Structure 1
Amino acid sequence: MAADAMPAAGPVMVQVRADAPDAAAQIAAGVAGCDPALVLIFGPPGPAFEAIAHGLRARLPARCTIAGCSSAGEIGPQGYVTGCAVAVGFPSVSFRAQALVLRDLPQLPVSDWMAELRRMPAAFGVDPRRNAFGILLPDGLAGKEDVLVATIEAALPALPVLGGSAGDGLEFRRTMLIADGAVTTDAAVFLMVETDLALAEVTFAHFSPSDTLAVVTAAVPEQRLILELNAEPAAAEYARLTGIAQADLTPTEFARHPLLLKMGKRHHVRAISGTTPQGGLSLLSAIDTGTVLRLGRAEDLIHGFAEALDRLPRPPLMVLGFDCILRRLAIERAGLTDAMSDIFTRYRIAGFSTYGEQHSGMHVNQTFVGLAFMPPDPADPAGAADAA
């Protein structure tokens, strides 16, 4: 049967212990049957994960693009896991992919990135009869996601792009980016992907704004630091607003009481990663002096998420998911880990816990961002679906 006449095939998920001595061989064997055009790999940072990256390049065909990043936890075939390498193989019968490494994030060489991104479609040879999308995997510690997504949006305005920031558990020390067996940091991996499957974006955030306002009266934008809220030391004022002792502020408490920024008609989280020794707040997204924030309140974690997935036009073959680590912490505190894992399993969601999510030209936090792959709609030759 000719390749263009073969039936569409969905992605394949593989999960192994990251420290298994034969982890790369297990993953390669698990995806080999789908003849992958692209393999995405997510796992805990360290020598074992680096060995997997090198081992996969040696075991998979040269025409297979290999990309991925370190995580703050993984989402595998059975839901939330830790200490595992989760791989997703995208079969060549339904997918094509090309990777670009955007380097030197601290220096922000935006003009160079723009030129590289604009050359990509011609080199890739996008087929207008198929659906194209982008995946962005930035270093979550470099703090440059806002500039990255704006650059990609300007260079490739017609391409839907989503992704997640590479993580390091709750250590916030070092992340790893993977592109074709090479491991790097202070960079972002950008993938242009094409498929004949139908696509739908799924986004979900489990919070709403309260009436409690806080004005950023002093900040260090380039470091994503709030020094003062309401003209008071930021950590102390946040503790007062939430009713939590400053000494008891932890990532779990930050997840329960997010700071929200209104953009257009929607509120987006400006997530807190920690406090500074000087009493400031470190954020995972851009912030500036004069910004007006609202204290958020967490709402339903489970049912709204399931309802968002239920609104997909057809059951997904798989959903590639980027889920903020702060959502995971909130779910764990609420004792809902098994319930959320059941949803992940039911809808075949695979991906990782992130230091931030990217979609619709924005960098956000405390959000689930996913891309559902579905069989083509017989009534729609293009096979595309609206976002859920």
Structure 2
Amino acid sequence: MSYQVLFSQKTNAKEAVEELKQQKQTNETALVLYFASPKHYELNSLASEMQSAFAPAIVIGSTSAGEILSGQMTHDSIVAMCFDKKQIGNVKVQLLENISKGGRIVKDAFKNFETHFNIKMREMSHEDYLGMLMIDGLSHKEEWLNDQIGNLTKVPFIGGSAADNGEFKETSLFYEGKVYKDTAILMIAKPEVSFKLLKSQGFNVTDKQLTPTKVDEETRRVIEFNNKPAKIAYAEALSISPEEVESAFSKYPLGLIFDEENPFVRSPRSLEGNDIVFFCQVKEGVPLQLLEAKCIVETTQKDLENVEKELGSISAIVNFNCILRAKQLEKENITDKYAELFKDTPTIGFNTYGESFIGHMNQTSTMLIMN
């Protein structure tokens, strides 16, 4: 049985879920993963309807800033993928509530994973087990969560931050028929098929350096770069006027450089006066390089071709794609070309407020790719 992609643009939650249910072709579903626009739907109704329609399968999801499915980049829709037991294998999900308070919630969740799989988290092989996470995209807790995970296991967790169509007002997760905020969902699976976790991005590292010299780390706000107002310093680095700064964000983010081929991207989100607010945490005194984005379509195509050579074939993709990549695709009028990369493969995904893969990053696509 191939992986099933479900899709609806009906604006009524009950009608949309009924359409998804009619598209489902198997009774062996173990996991339903879905991403939904928050624009039209009453979210409590949506979560309840999805649970009723697809239980006893595990049903989890998040709100989005644009949805992705095979051959399409859509808006104001619901996309879902059904995973059979023979594909996803043994799977366990944990809900982490009140993540703003921190504490032992990750350790407690991992104990439950260990009980379920009968193996210590540190002993799990990254070749046999995969981790997935979704998190409230306005929580500012992505770095903390990824750090906690990285300290406790070698299993890489891939995923994204829930979004709300670029409104930055309220992002939500769906779990067991209910809607949650200030929350993260962790999933571990031991698939019956081979898989690959992919981080896809493409940037040229410029020789322009911006060092955050005054930062409000709690709100991810940079007040000064190089001892100058952040907006002015960024404009000077690009040789543009301050009025052009915000329109340059998606093309010219910043990066924490350990490896020039794989910078940890720090993407500006918005201007507030002369301050620049970022999607990711920015540390005061840690130098950042100005980056220039390469063609997203070309870099993604190359990455997918490399994965296909490694796996032999690609049978399904879950794509956590940064909202800024989506904006750049629109700006360059190549959204359709990007979507075409996935037209022959069962694919779902969404545009996120941040991506996770061995850490929290931006302007990246992190993908779960199944053989």
**In 2, Cα distance between equivalents of 1:18 and 1:161:** 32
**In 2, Cα distance between equivalents of 1:72 and 1:18:** 17
Corresponding position: 1:40 with 2:33? yes
1:212 is matched with: 208
Do the aligned partners of residues 282 and 234 (structure 1) sit closer, same or farther apart at CA in structure 2, a change above 3 Å counting?
same
**In 2, Cα distance between equivalents of 1:241 and 1:327:** 22
**In 2, Cα distance between equivalents of 1:93 and 1:126:** 21
Do the aligned partners of residues 152 and 31 (structure 1) sit closer, same or farther apart at CA in structure 2, a change above 3 Å counting?
farther
CA contact (8 A) 1:344 1:350 kept: no
**In 1, Cα distance between equivalents of 2:98 and 2:259:** 32
1:113 counterpart (91, 106, 109): 106
AA partner of residue 148 (structure 1): L
After superposition, the C-alpha distances for 1:126-173 in whole angstroms (9 at most, x for unaligned) are 798993211100111111101101111222x13231001111111111
2:366 is matched with: 369
After superposition, the C-alpha distances for 1:359-382 in whole angstroms (9 at most, x for unaligned) are 1x21111011111111xxxxxxxx
**In 1, Cα distance between equivalents of 2:347 and 2:25:** 20
1:224 is matched with: 220
Do the aligned partners of residues 262 and 344 (structure 1) sit closer, same or farther apart at CA in structure 2, a change above 3 Å counting?
same
**In 1, Cα distance between equivalents of 2:42 and 2:28:** 25
**In 1, Cα distance between equivalents of 2:198 and 2:21:** 29
1:349 is matched with: 347
AA partner of residue 32 (structure 2): V
- Counterpart secondary structure, 1:101: strand
**In 2, Cα distance between equivalents of 1:178 and 1:24:** 14
**In 2, Cα distance between equivalents of 1:335 and 1:105:** 38
After superposition, the C-alpha distances for 1:224-261 in whole angstroms (9 at most, x for unaligned) are 111100111112221222233333333x5211111111
How far residue 34 of structure 1 moved from its aligned partner, in angstroms, is: 5.2
- Counterpart secondary structure, 2:296: coil
**In 2, Cα distance between equivalents of 1:346 and 1:303:** 17
**In 2, Cα distance between equivalents of 1:18 and 1:27:** 10
Q: What is the RMSD of the two structures over their aligned residues, measured on CA atoms?
A: 2.0
CA contact (8 A) 2:35 2:62 kept: yes
Do the aligned partners of residues 244 and 173 (structure 1) sit closer, same or farther apart at CA in structure 2, a change above 3 Å counting?
farther
**In 1, Cα distance between equivalents of 2:168 and 2:100:** 16
Corresponding position: 1:148 with 2:155? no
CA contact (8 A) 1:19 1:48 kept: no
AA partner of residue 107 (structure 2): M
AA partner of residue 164 (structure 2): D
Corresponding position: 1:83 with 2:81? no
1:104 is matched with: 98
- Counterpart secondary structure, 1:33: coil
CA contact (8 A) 1:34 1:92 kept: no
After superposition, the C-alpha distances for 1:196-238 in whole angstroms (9 at most, x for unaligned) are 1110122211212101111110001121111100111112221
2:159 counterpart (156, 159, 163): 163
**In 1, Cα distance between equivalents of 2:217 and 2:350:** 27
- Counterpart secondary structure, 1:273: strand
1:377 is matched with: none
AA partner of residue 100 (structure 2): P
Aligned pair count reads 360
- Counterpart secondary structure, 2:325: helix
The normalised TM-score by structure 1 is 0.87
2:288 is matched with: 293
**In 1, Cα distance between equivalents of 2:251 and 2:208:** 15
CA contact (8 A) 2:131 2:158 kept: yes
**In 1, Cα distance between equivalents of 2:81 and 2:42:** 18
- Counterpart secondary structure, 1:263: coil
After superposition, the C-alpha distances for 1:265-297 in whole angstroms (9 at most, x for unaligned) are 6422101110113x2111111111101011111
Which consecutive unaligned segments of at least 5 residues does structure 1 have? 1-8, 375-388
**In 1, Cα distance between equivalents of 2:314 and 2:105:** 37
Corresponding position: 1:192 with 2:188? yes
Do the aligned partners of residues 236 and 34 (structure 1) sit closer, same or farther apart at CA in structure 2, a change above 3 Å counting?
farther
CA contact (8 A) 2:38 2:76 kept: no
